[in-house]
Each structure stands twice: as C-alpha cells, then as structure tokens.
Structure 1
Amino acid sequence: MKLAYKERIAWRLTLVTSLIILAVFAGIYLVVQVTVVSSIDRELGLETDKHRSQIFLVDGEIRFLHKDEWQEMEHSQIQLNPIFIEIVDLEGNSMDRSPNLRANHLSFSPEKSAQKEAWTLKIGASEVRQMQIPLVNAGKHEGYLLLAKSFEDSRELLDKLRNVLLILYPGILLSLFLTMRYLAGKSIQPIRQIIDKTNQISQSNLNERVPLAEPNDEIGQLTRSINELLERVEASLIREKQFTSDASHELRTPLSVLRGTLEVLIRKPRTQEEYVEKIKSAFASIDRMSATIDQLLALAREEKGKFSVREELELITFLEEVTDQSAKEQGREVRFQCEASTPIFVRANEQSLQMILSNLIQNAVKYSQPDAEVLVKTGVAEGTPYIEVCDAGSGIAARHLDKIFDPFFREKEVVDRAVPGTGLGLAIVRKLAQESGIRVSVSSEQGKGSTFRLELPDS
C-alpha cells in the first residue's frame, strides 16, 4: 500500500537521522574504548618501567633490587586491578611469576617486545591487558618481563555503555519518527487546505481563488501558481463561451437570410429577374458563411501549432513579393517602403507571417477610401526588425483599441456602414504573432487612419 506523503517524509527524515545517530553512538563507543585502553596501557608502561629497574637476569638467575616488592599484597592475592608479573627466558620458559597468577601463565610474544606493544588476552576466566619488555644485562639479552593488568572492570564499563546505546537507539528512533510524522503533518497542512479549496472549485465557481497565506515561501509560490492557472483557465473559458456565442451568431445570420430568401422564392412564381436577384442574395449569404468558416479553420490550425516552425528569412525580398501579390489580389495600390540600407534577416515561419500581413493589408484596403494608398514599411529600430502596415482610412476609436483583436469584435460604426467582414482577421493576426514570438501594436486616429506595427525576433 502506498504511504501518505507525510509518512514518506517522516520515514525519510527518520532514516537519515538514524544513520547520523548511529554514527554518533559508534563514535562515542570508540572514543571511550580508546580512552580506557590507552589509560590501561599507560599504567602498564609505568609498571614495566618501574619493574625494569628492579629485576635483573644474570647468567640465567633472577636478581631483585627489592625482593620485598614481590611480597606486596597486590602480587599475592586477587584484588581490584591487580598487576600480574612473570619472568621468562629467551625461549619463553617461565622462570618466576607473581603468586596471583596461581597456575596460569602470561602469553609469550617476543615480536611485540621491541615496540612495547600491549594486547588483550584471557587468563583463565579473566581478561587482562598485557605488555612485554626484554631484560638486558651488560648489553646481553637474557629474557623477558611480562606484565598484565586486569581488563575486567574496563570491559564491564564498555559492555554497559554498548548496552545503554543499543537500548537508547530504538527508543530514539521511535520518538524521532513520531516527532517527524507530527511535524510533517503540520508542514503539509497548508497543502491540505489548498487541496480542499481546489476540490471545491468547478466550472460554476471558477472565479474563486485559493487564499494566499504565506506569500514569500514555497507554499505561497504554489498558491500563486494555482491562482494564475485558474485565472488563465477562467479567461480561456470566457473566451471560449464568447467565441462560441459569436460564431453561432455569425453563422446564424446568413443562414436566416438564406432561408428567408428561399422561402420567398417558393411562395409563388416569380419573374426571371426576381429569381436571379434572390439567388444572388443567397450566394452572398453562402459567401459570408464560407468566409467565416475559412477564418475559423485558420484559427483552429494555428492553435494546433501548424505554424510553430521558424526559419531564417530575408525580410525585404519577402515583403516585396507579399506587397506585389496583395496589390494584384486587392486591385489596389499597395506600396512597399524599405528604411534599411542592408538586408534584414529574421527567424519566422514564412506561411504564418504571410497570413498575418495578408489579413492586415486586407483590413487596410477594406477600411480605406478606394483611391487611398496602403503602405507597407520595414526597417530596424534599436536592433529590432519591424514591419508597419499603414492606411489612411477611418481609424479606430481609442476605447476600442484593446478589443479589436478579440474574435468577432467589430465597431458599431463599421457594422452600420455595412463593411463586409467576420471580425476574425485580427484575432488570427494576434494568435499567429504570439505563436511566432512577434510583438503586435497599433496606433490609430479617427479620420486619419491606422498603423499596425510588427516587431520581429532577429536571426
């Protein structure tokens, strides 16, 4: 079963912390062990130095500087931290030993004598720490002095420390996991609130937003991102509803005209002239619907990313061809003007840019006087290539400049003058420009005309 997010956080943090604690406990145990062993080895070193000056081997015989030292209580009985002493010859044969060894012997390791190295061993049922030094008389190596000190108390101390750490470890891990789980639950509480709020938001209340609690942390950033997403979705749905409504209206009107025309035709016999007139009216309605459908298809193709591929394009030559073709299609003078002295290279989709310019030039021709000139200019301003489509038409009211790129928007004055159009041309221009990374702006003055400016990314 998949664990909850707070459980996974708690387990991960507990695992990492448990490894750190384990390393700390191991360090503590090793430090104490090294300290205890070093202390015993230091005491053994002092004992060996003391007895080295008191015991001699002369021609295989043991001589004592103070014989009474062997009669002291620490050598004659088992007591707290006793010292065990044994003297052996070069072959390791015991020559004498302290009474507290009884029937036991210390370990003989001549290779450890030179380094004055200590080691741990068992003597009967007891554990001791032993050191061995050579006995030299008049420069002659005669035998070895073996000294040992009880390691029982130190071993008991180390075992108790180890047991305490082993008992504490699972208890610490359990308390750590519960603490981490609680803190993880508290930490993700804002996320739970976000989840609860977003689950309440549907298409019917898409205007609601997730409350912003801590704007400067990651939760605040997540909240802002969700709210921005909701704003984009809401705006998209509003545009979709408006688009559907407008498209339905635009298609319903010519259909109604067409239906009315045909109904009039079948009511009674008509003259040939009347039939021709009504059929021409029907064709006009069909042409209007076809134009609307073509524009809607263009929008649909753009939204599928058909024009997203960009290639290097020489702008001056391209615009000369576009203006010549537009002048032939529109039957109007479309003049091209270049304000740059060198070729202009840009990265753009040729088909997309051609459709943008075609729509802008069509609009310029449509809203200008029949004898007015349409001007297409290009150049480079502050390192940015640009194209301008200028007309001397009726212009656009300032209050409508932010709406002219909305689908199906047409000024009332234009509709009243029965200027043909669907209101989709500039919507296509904006979408294609956004897809191509082109910045579109417009300046207009009523009665004097409009200028649409395209700023293109250079190569």
Structure 2
Amino acid sequence: MAGLGVVCVAVYVVIFLTLDQRQNQTLDMKREAVEHLLREGRGAHDLDSVRHLLNDFLAGHDELTLSVADNSGHIFLPPQRAASADVKVERFPVPLPPDLGGAGTASLAFDQSKDKELLLRLAWTLGFAAVGGSLVLSAAAAFGVRRELAPLRALVRQTAAVSADRLELRLDGRDQVEELQPLIAQTNDLLDRLAIAYRQMESFNADVAHELNNPLSILINSCDFALRRPRSPDELKETLQSNLEELRRIARIVADMLFLANAQRGAQASRDEVTELAELCAEVLDYHEGSLQEAGVRGVVRGRARASVDTGLLQRAIANLVGNARRYATRGTEVVVEIEPRGKEIYIGVINEGPEIPAEHLPRLFDRFYRVDPSRTGASKNHGLGLSIVAAIARMHGGKATAASVGGKTRIGFTISSGAVPT
C-alpha cells in the first residue's frame, strides 16, 4: 500500500502541475491575443465595436471571462458570465480607442472548477486504486506464499511424524526446491545418526541391566541361602567373601561407566612430562607377565617414541589391549606391543595371532558392552567395557582407536596426538 500510495501521489502531483501549467499557458496566449486584437483591430473606434470584437474573440472559450476598464476605473466591458469562486485572474494593460481614453486595464479570468473536478475524481480513483491494488496484491501474495510453502509444510509434517518408535522415517525431498535439498540431506543424515545413537542407547541400557543383574542376583541368592538356617562363622565368612567379589565387580562396572561418561562429556587427558613409551609398555607387560605365561604367550615391545601423555590413562589403555590379546592369542605365540611414530601422531597397537574377527564386527568393537561372541562367554570376568575405555582414552589424547584382523593376526590399537620427536 505504501508503494502504490507513493505512485498515486506522484501521478496526482504530475497531473496537477500539468493542469496548472496549461492554465498559465492558456492565460498567456489569450492575453497576447487580446493585446494583439486591440492593437491591430481596425474599425474599433468606439465602445460598441470594441465590445463586439472582444465578444467574438471569447466565443467558444467557456472557461474564460474578460473585463476591460479605462484608466479612471470605469468598467465599460463587464464579464460575459458570472465567474466561479475558483478562478485564476491575470490583469494587464491594453490599448483602447482614443475616444475611450487610449489605454485601459483588462482582467482575464480562467475558470478552474472543471480542472478541480477532474483532480477530485482523479484523487478518488487513485485512492481506490491504491487500496484495491494493495488488497489484490496482498491476496495474490498470500496465495502465492501459501502455495510455495506447501512443500515446506509437508516437510514439517514429515518431521513431526518421526518419533522414537518410527526412527526409520526420513524426509522426502523429491518435490522440494533446490535450495532446500542440502537442508533435507543434512536432516536425514542427522536422523540416521540419531537412529544409530538411539539403538545404541537401547542396547546399552539392556547390556547395563544384564551386567548388573547377574552379580545382583548372585548377591541376593547368596544372602537368601545364608539366612535360611544358622551358619557357622566360617560359612558366613565364605559367603561374605563371595559377595565381596560380586560387589567389587559391580563397583568396577560402575567406575568404568562413570569414566566413559566423563570422557564422553569432553574430559581431556592431563599431559605429564615427556615419557618413553617403550618403557611404559614394558611396565605393563611386566605387570601381566604371570597371566601371559599362564596363557602360554610371550609379551614383546617393538618401536620407541617419546611423548607427553597421561601415564596412568595410557597404562590402562595398553593393559586393556594386552588383556584382550592374551585371551584370544594362540598358545606359543607372541603378544606384540607396537609403537610407531606417524608424523604428529604416535600409534600404539597390540598384535596377537589367533582367530580372525569377522569384518562386520570390527566397526563395533569399541562400542560399550559389545561382544563378538553373543553368548557372553567369560562375562563373569570381562564386562565388555575394556575396548570402549581404550577408545575413550585415545580421544582424550586427541587420537582415535582402530582395529584390523587379517591373515590370522588381529591388530587393535590407537593413536595419540603429540609433537614429540621419536627416539
């Protein structure tokens, strides 16, 4: 409406100025014509002839009226018709016959009433055009916007249909404009990640319940059995020792879960002084020497590098990898802790010879509570968080965990970011 209003006002002003200019030009032309008639008129030597000459001149000009007075102010040629209130008057001296004094003053009046009526009709027309045009344009714009936004509303309905029990739904971008395609693709990718995360969360909750249910059931059954009849102090002591082992297992599970939760919230490793990684790995192997001998394998460290790391966390990650390799290594083979500088990163991995891990399991080895063996063999000793902790410690050091299994050898390790120069 503002735009149309400005246009209408501009049109009105232009026409108003045009009419005013036309009136002025008309008065100037008629003034010159009157002066010329009185100056060049022949036979106009008396009052009647002057009147007749001027009346003939005004014939056909209804918007003009003319009056002439001599120098004494006597009007000898009064206006031919009554003038309206809206007139534009131009007064100028004119020559007269000698018997009329030789000179006088003429008043030429232009009737503006018709032009003002025209301007009034124009103002109403432009006003209605501005209002009506604004309404028409608004309605057309509303219809056009509603039609163009229909696909977007369809996207809103599709998004609203996605819920926890319908995570397979995705946004359909076939009927959408090109500008929305990147947003739709990113939203679908986000829904894919959310679906994966939600399934992992459900699996995690089930695994947590399963891992905690076993020791809790053992504790409840043990206490219930001990209370059924009087027990000797030795029997009660044995029961308490068994319960204490299960409580420690629960405590380890809870502690590991708290560690993973802190790591997931973005906790970073505290960097100690530069450490010789080969010596640190050797210390871990020394600690596991008894279990390695019991499994019939030998621990070896290969490679050297120095880096600033959180010694305690790194020892924990390496210990988890060594323990995992020991469980699956073939007797009589070596468990190799490998240290390999890679530019600004250092790779630490543990290699064992034994059964290959199927390729479909490798991407999920570092998921919490994930086991390649769905029967949960050995779950009483290993609750499935070891490799998840390894991945978390790698992230806390600015690296990532990796796994590969081919040719009868399994290599599981991680990288840490460090600017240290290898030795």
Q: Structure 2 length normalisation: TM-score?
A: 0.69
- 8 A contact 2:366–2:391 mirrored in 1: yes
Partner of 1:125 in structure 2?
Answer: 84
- C-alpha RMSD of matched pairs (Å): 4.7
Structure 2 residue identity aligned to 1:80: D
Partner of 2:320 in structure 1?
Answer: 363
Partner of 2:143 in structure 1?
Answer: 182
Q: Which residue of the other structure, out of 7, 13, 18, is the alignment partner of 1:35?
A: 18
Separation in 1 of the partners of 2:238 and 2:415? 43
Q: CA 1:202–1:434 in structure 2 vs 1: closer, same or farther (change >3 Å)?
A: same
**1:46 has 2:21 as partner:** no
Partner of 1:423 in structure 2?
Answer: 384
Partner of 1:338 in structure 2?
Answer: 305
- 8 A contact 2:58–2:65 mirrored in 1: no
Q: String of CA shifts for 1:127-150, please: whole Å, max 9, x gaps.
A: 2345567899xxxxx998764433
Partner of 1:65 in structure 2?
Answer: 40
**1:236 has 2:236 as partner:** no
Separation in 1 of the partners of 2:2 and 2:391? 59
Q: CA 1:432–1:143 in structure 2 vs 1: closer, same or farther (change >3 Å)?
A: farther
Structure 1 residue identity aligned to 2:319: Q
- 8 A contact 2:321–2:350 mirrored in 1: yes
Please give the residue correspondences for 1:197-236 in structure 2 after superposition, counting only pairs within 5 Å: 197-217=158-178, 223-224=184-185, 226-236=187-197
Q: String of CA shifts for 1:402-431, please: whole Å, max 9, x gaps.
A: 111211012339965779433224334556
Separation in 2 of the partners of 1:165 and 1:262? 96
Q: CA 1:166–1:148 in structure 2 vs 1: closer, same or farther (change >3 Å)?
A: same
- 8 A contact 1:367–1:393 mirrored in 2: no
Partner of 1:113 in structure 2?
Answer: none
Structure 1 residue identity aligned to 2:27: L
Which blocks of at least 5 consecutive residues in structure 1 are unaligned?
1-17, 56-63, 104-123, 137-141, 345-349
**1:294 has 2:255 as partner:** yes
Q: CA 1:302–1:147 in structure 2 vs 1: closer, same or farther (change >3 Å)?
A: farther
Please give the residue correspondences for 1:227-376 in structure 2 after superposition, counting only pairs within 5 Å: 227-259=188-220, 281-303=242-264, 305=265, 307=267, 320=275, 328=283, 331-332=286-287, 337-338=304-305, 355=313, 357-368=314-325, 372-376=335-339
Structure 2 residue identity aligned to 1:407: R
Partner of 1:11 in structure 2?
Answer: none
Separation in 2 of the partners of 1:374 and 1:261? 41
Which blocks of at least 5 consecutive residues in structure 2 are unaligned?
96-102, 288-299, 327-332
Separation in 1 of the partners of 2:417 and 2:92? 92
Count of equivalent residues = 384
* TM superposition shift of 1:393: 2.4
Please give the residue correspondences for 1:65-144 in structure 2 after superposition, counting only pairs within 5 Å: 65-66=40-41, 67=44, 71-73=53-55, 79-82=61-64, 84=66, 99-100=78-79, 125-130=84-89
Q: Greater CA deviation, 30-39 or 68-77?
A: 68-77
Q: CA 1:48–1:354 in structure 2 vs 1: closer, same or farther (change >3 Å)?
A: farther
- 8 A contact 2:87–2:113 mirrored in 1: yes
Partner of 1:111 in structure 2?
Answer: none
Structure 2 residue identity aligned to 1:242: S
Q: CA 1:289–1:432 in structure 2 vs 1: closer, same or farther (change >3 Å)?
A: same
* TM superposition shift of 1:372: 4.3
Q: CA 1:445–1:130 in structure 2 vs 1: closer, same or farther (change >3 Å)?
A: farther
* TM superposition shift of 1:243: 0.4
- 8 A contact 1:214–1:220 mirrored in 2: no
Q: What is the percentage of aligned positions where both structures have the same residue?
A: 21
Separation in 1 of the partners of 2:62 and 2:389? 100
- 8 A contact 1:194–1:210 mirrored in 2: yes
Separation in 2 of the partners of 1:243 and 1:418? 15
